[in-house]
Structure 1
Amino acid sequence: MVALHRSSLSLIALAALLMISPSLAQTTAPSSPGLVPLQARPKVRIAVLNFDFSNIGLTGAVYSFTDSAGPSKAVSTLLTNLLVKDGTYVVVERSRIDAVLAEQNLGQAGRIEPTTAAQVGRILGVDAVVIGSVTEFGLEQKKGGVNILGFGSQKETQIARVQLAARIVSTTTGEILSVAEAKGEATQVDESISVGGYGSTAQGSNASDRLLSTAAQQALEEVKTKFVAEADKLAALPPVVPLIETLVAHVAGPEITFNKGGTDGLRPGMILQVERVSGEIRDPATGKVLTRKTTPLGRVQLVQVQPNFSVGKVLRGQGFKVGDVAKAVQ
């Protein structure tokens, strides 16, 4: 009787556990035949494009802080660094962005519209793109002083002001998801004493550079804080399907290895369409490929993604070979 009583209690406890957590019996079952259960979604991937320089308030020389490309590139680089240090998002490297902009002939285009930014973002395989404008980037100088019988003092004040307007654009829809406007200001006062009209101050391009950098940093901290607060909103977006092609690098039965991975926006659970190129049509004048003839071979779902390669399981199809082309379809 004691054994029977204990058995009954065990059955009751098991039934109660299943009633409380019915999902426990389903955690290993895939949602659809042949599909691998999706892993938790990784961090949102973003790219910061060069800000356009729409300001007319830059006074004096172009300081070293602005670099040869003007303040827009310097500001974009600073924002990229701040977001990387924060760690909320995965931020694409500037070199990859510059390469894609060059391929799309957008390197010197200036202002990039949201629809164009979304297209660039899909090529980069990111969920959202940050674009913006430098609306003020100026240095104001004020001088004053006194002179009595050849002895005098001078005061020189420099005020750096930076104002920015930034937007987050969804690469899936081209919609502007968030807007941030911010200002930064930095001041430096230098005094000098002159005798008989001779004197000196410590002013120079380095001081101006530091002031502009400080003002820009203040404004960018505001932008970063605003955009980090939007992380949950961005995480709710549907995952972007990257506009990239990858090649089959290895075939081992139902396991296929591809030569691109997370760096290009591929993620576990994505499904790739694998095709074999049977011919190319080239422009006779430039030699550029106009279109290709391909034969569909099947579909593969990614189950492991590393930065530079990924591994998938065949869902359907056969005859895959090294060198076959694949692209994400969902």
Structure 2
Amino acid sequence: MIAKIFWFRPNLLMWTGFLLVFVCLPVVAGETVQSDEKIRVAVMNFENNTTQRFWEDNLGYAAADEFVTQLFETQQFSLVERAQIDSILAEQDFGQSGRLNQSQAAELGKLLGVQLILTGSITKFSIDTKSGGIRSFGVEYSEAESNLDVRLIDANTAEILFAGTGESKVRLGGIRIKGFNFRQDFDRGIAQEALRPAIQDVVNKIVANADAYAALEVPISPAKIVGSGQDGSIYIDRGENFSVTIGQRYQVKRVVDEIRDASGNLLDTITDIVGVVEVSRVLGQSSICTVIEGEATEGDALEPIP
């Protein structure tokens, strides 16, 4: 009886450990993985659609920064660095940040590996200042009013999952140097303080749906050809980290044309299938392939063949 108990317990632990490892492994299917951690979000710069264009694009930057701060403080969201977003925008020639259509937003989300893209616009912003003082210093109070429109876009489907508004009217106070012109002289701190209540209103609404957003898949950018060998072999950016296996085949997709609007912003790309490659060797984060049909060159995208 003692021997049976002694051997049974390690066996149970072994199976428990196996199940835990199995459950915790990322699931790769159709170039997506399921996320059970923080919700990954990229916050775009907001468009300044106010009538008088108060502080121009700087106001949109301040709104985006405040959204990043407040979402991060909830401890439910993982935010992408601004520099990374700007780099992808420049590389993909999407035009000015923040001014993306739904399709572009979804494509950006795949490249950044996020579940959600947050975009929006400032539809109303004003600061009414009253002041008085002695010599070069003045004590003042100001009333700031702002309205925001915000959208959350699913990076997998380009579907708008949330559309909401935030409104605020807040009294600002403090001592300032006389001669500071709110309309001409941008102050990020004042801008964020003025926008903060409206943004908090929207963030509260987003957090209320956090469980639904957490269930979204994290899109993975398409596999790409990153180089070639002297023997004509092709190198791709997928390996053991994506469960690639020897013999796996990919269609080679190449951009053959682009569609742009009157301002030159990229709307869509037209791709053709130009070849097929087969994996001959799998490494940690890359694989070596052989071209078995058509052609393939560095920069071409790859789509797994089931």
> Greater RCO between the two (CA within 8 Å, min separation 6)?
2
CA spacing shift, 1:274–1:231, aligned 2, 3 Å: farther
The alignment covers a number of residue pairs equal to: 271
CA–CA distance in structure 2, aligned partners of residues 84 and 300 of structure 1:
41
Instruction: Tell me if the contact between 1:187 and 1:211 (Cα under 8 Å) persists in the aligned partners.
Output: no
The match for 1:298 is 279
Residue in structure 1 matching 2:220, options 241, 262, 284: 241
- CA RMSD across the alignment: 5.2
CA spacing shift, 1:82–1:247, aligned 2, 3 Å: farther
Aligned: 1:160 with 2:168? no
**AA in 2 matched with 1:6:** I
**Structure number with larger C-alpha Rg:** 1
What's the TM-score once normalised by structure 2's chain length?
Answer: 0.61
CA spacing shift, 1:8–1:87, aligned 2, 3 Å: closer
CA spacing shift, 1:213–1:239, aligned 2, 3 Å: closer
Instruction: Tell me if the contact between 1:186 and 1:211 (Cα under 8 Å) persists in the aligned partners.
Output: no
Instruction: Tell me if the contact between 1:248 and 1:325 (Cα under 8 Å) persists in the aligned partners.
Output: no
For residues 172-251 of structure 1, the aligned pairs below 5 Å read 172-188=156-172, 202=178, 204-205=180-181, 209=187, 210-243=189-222, 245=224, 247=226
**AA in 2 matched with 1:119:** E
List alignment gaps of at least 5 residues for structure 2.
133-137, 230-234, 259-270, 292-297
CA–CA distance in structure 1, aligned partners of residues 237 and 5 of structure 2:
55
What's the TM-score once normalised by structure 1's chain length?
Answer: 0.58
Query: Alignment partner of 1:71: what SS?
Result: helix
Residue in structure 2 matching 1:51, options 23, 46, 51: 46
Residue identity over aligned pairs, in percent, reads 23
**TM-fit CA distance, 1:162:** 1.8
**TM-fit CA distance, 1:203:** 5.6
**AA in 1 matched with 2:156:** T
The match for 2:266 is none
The match for 2:116 is 128
The match for 1:149 is none
CA–CA distance in structure 1, aligned partners of residues 277 and 89 of structure 2:
30
CA–CA distance in structure 2, aligned partners of residues 73 and 51 of structure 1:
6
**TM-fit CA distance, 1:47:** 0.9
Residue in structure 2 matching 1:6, options 2, 8, 20: 2
Aligned: 1:139 with 2:127? yes
**AA in 1 matched with 2:180:** G
Aligned: 1:92 with 2:80? yes
**AA in 1 matched with 2:216:** L
